[in-house]
Amino acid sequence: MSSRMRRPETVKLDISRGDWLLVKKYLTAGEQRQIFKHMLSYTNDKERYQSLEYGPSLVAGYLLDWSIEDADGKAVTIRDQPYESVLAAIDMLDTQSFQEIRTAIEAHASAMEQSLVAEKNDPNGEPVSSATSPSRRRSAGGMRTSPISPSTSTIS
């Protein structure tokens, strides 16, 4: 039986100017819901999603630590800080830096999603045939498919 809960792994992402981000490798179902939960606002008892909040919410949902410094060269500490403090720090970034960080995290999320799809197919990289599909007879000189390789990432 396979496990459906993952250990909390991290990945280090390098960005420009020698800076780095430490992010969660995967989000749990609860963490994904938190991202959307922080986009919710309520107006006259109606639930509304603030699409403008998606970017900061996504970044704060993945981000664990970084090397960002303030204008005085002092480290901006976000490690082990509450979500709201991380969000406040993200909001203080200049616009280009925020976009760069958001792009890096979105690329990471996309890569991890693809690796999950590949893993779901088969841990060995071979597509798993459906239980209902008939087995095919091999013919001489038949085409061989190459195995699907999950994307790799640097684990810190």
Cα–Cα dist 59/61, whole Å: 5
Question: Among 11, 27, 64, 89, which residue interacts with other proteins (rule: CB under 8 A)?
Answer: 64
Question: Among 41, 77, 114, 129, which residue interacts with other proteins (rule: CB under 8 A)?
Answer: 77
Should residue 37 be labelled a site residue for other proteins when binding is judged by CB under 8 A?
Answer: no
In the complex, the smallest distance separating the C-beta of residue 136 from other proteins, rounded to whole angstroms, is: 44
* 4 token code pair: 């459906």
Should residue 73 be labelled a site residue for other proteins when binding is judged by CB under 8 A?
Answer: no
Question: Among 11, 13, 21, 24, which residue interacts with other proteins (rule: CB under 8 A)?
Answer: 24
Q: Which stretch binds other proteins (CB under 8 A): 44-52, 75-83, 105-113, 123-131?
A: 75-83
Cα–Cα dist 51/40, whole Å: 9
Should residue 68 be labelled a site residue for other proteins when binding is judged by CB under 8 A?
Answer: no
* Cα atoms in the 13 Å half-sphere on the side-chain side of 18: 1
Evaluate whether 102 touches 59 at the Cβ level (below 8 Å). Answer: yes
Axis crossing angle, helix 54-62 with helix 83-91, rounded to the nearest 10: 120
Should residue 80 be labelled a site residue for other proteins when binding is judged by CB under 8 A?
Answer: yes
